[in-house]
Structure formats: structure tokens, C-alpha cells
Structure 1
Amino acid sequence: MASSAFMRRWMRPEVYPLFATVGLAVGICGMQLFRNISTNPEVRVTKENRAAGILDNFAEGEKYAEHALRKFVRNRSPEIMPSINNFFTDPKY
């Protein structure tokens, strides 16, 4: 009885975008958590790595900070839709 009420309330086509948005957000958070645990030079999961103390490994930190997405957007303008922004701000149109 309770499961059918749940299905009638939440499994409607109107809530599919909500499920997709929340699923995407959870996926992004999980990806970032995995990235931090696996590649962050300041996170040490194993006991041997934790015993090493503080390491001055600047090359590994630079590699972590300068990831592929940051390299891709480095020389681009910080606009989401540059053609629409130029249309409304450029006086020659």
C-alpha cells in the first residue's frame, strides 16, 4: 500500500528533470570526491603514506592543480554565450 502511494507521488513524468538534475549533481560530487582521494597530493589514505609526514613535493601539487579542464579554459573569455553577449554589447550591431 505504501509503495503504491510512493510510486503515484514521485514517479511522474514531471519529476524526471528533478531526478536527472539531482543525479547529475550527485555524480559530479562523487567524481570530485574520487579525484581528491585518488590524486590529491595532500590526501594520504594508506598508513605508510600518512607516516611520511609533510612532503614538499611541489611538482605533484602543480600537476594536481593544473588539470585538463583548467588548461582548456585558460585562454578563453569567461563568458557562457559569447555570441549573444557580443550581440547585445557591441555597438556595430
Structure 2
Amino acid sequence: MTSSTFGRWIRPEVFPLFAAVGVAVGICGMQLIRNISSNPEVRVTKQKRAAGVLENFEEGEKYAEHGLRKFVRNKSPQIMPSVNGFFSDPN
């Protein structure tokens, strides 16, 4: 039974499915680690939980304004702006 299951799932046709699921799991894992380690509203240790509600706006701003958001802030919200401009601008 194990050889038929192995033969059913380990074929070249299912490699893209494995890759897509692997990327999705990786993104979820990275977001989970980011939230646990640097989110100011998540408190894992007992000492931090005992502090109650903190008014720490600088830490929240640092968490919300991460590097990717700063990088794409002034960019055009298009995948390929040069190709879109070529086909849509009347010249």
C-alpha cells in the first residue's frame, strides 16, 4: 500500500502543487514568527503580560512601517507599468 501511495503522489505533475503549498506554508510561518517576535501587541512572557495596556506608539509605528512597505510606498501599483503604458498610452 505504501508503494502505491508513494507512486501516486511523487510524480512530476504534482511538483508545482508541492511548490505552491510550500511557499504558502513558508509565508504563513514567516508572518507567525514576525508577529510573535516583533508585534507590540503580542506578549509571550509573563512579565510583559503583567504590564497591561501600553501607550507605546513608537514601537507600533516601527512595526507597521516595515521595510517592504517603505519600499513600495511611492511605486506605481502595477505589475508591469512599462508594458501597461506601452499598450494604453495613445502615442
- Alignment TM-score > 0.5, same fold: yes
Give the TM-score of the pair, scaled to structure 2: 0.97
Query: Once the two structures are aligned, what percentage of the paired residues are identical?
Result: 74
The alignment yields a C-alpha RMSD, in angstroms, of 0.6
Higher relative contact order (CA 8 A, sep 6+): 2
Q: Corresponding residue for 2:46?
A: 47
Quote the residue 1:87 is aligned against: 86
Query: TM-score if structure 1 supplies the norm length?
Result: 0.95
1:85 is aligned with what amino acid? N
Consecutive unaligned residues of structure 1, counting only runs of 5 or more, are none
Distance in 1 between residues matched to 2:47 and 2:30, nearest whole Å: 25
- After TM superposition, the structure 1 = structure 2 runs for residues 5-20 of structure 1, keeping only pairs within 5 Å, are 5-20=4-19
Q: Using the alignment, how far apart are the partners of 2:89 and 2:9 within structure 1?
A: 47
Amino acid in structure 2 at the alignment position of 1:27: G
Q: Tell me the distance in 1 between the aligned counterparts of 2:8 and 2:29.
A: 28
Q: Give unmatched runs, 5+ long, in structure 2.
A: none
Shift of the alpha carbon at 1:6?
Answer: 1.1
**Counterpart for residue 76 of structure 1:** 75
Aligned mates of 1:40, 1:6 — CA distance in 2: 42
Deviation string 1:16-74 (CA, Å, 9 cap, x unpaired) is: 01100100000000000000000000000000000000000000000000000000000
Letter in 2 for 1:54: V
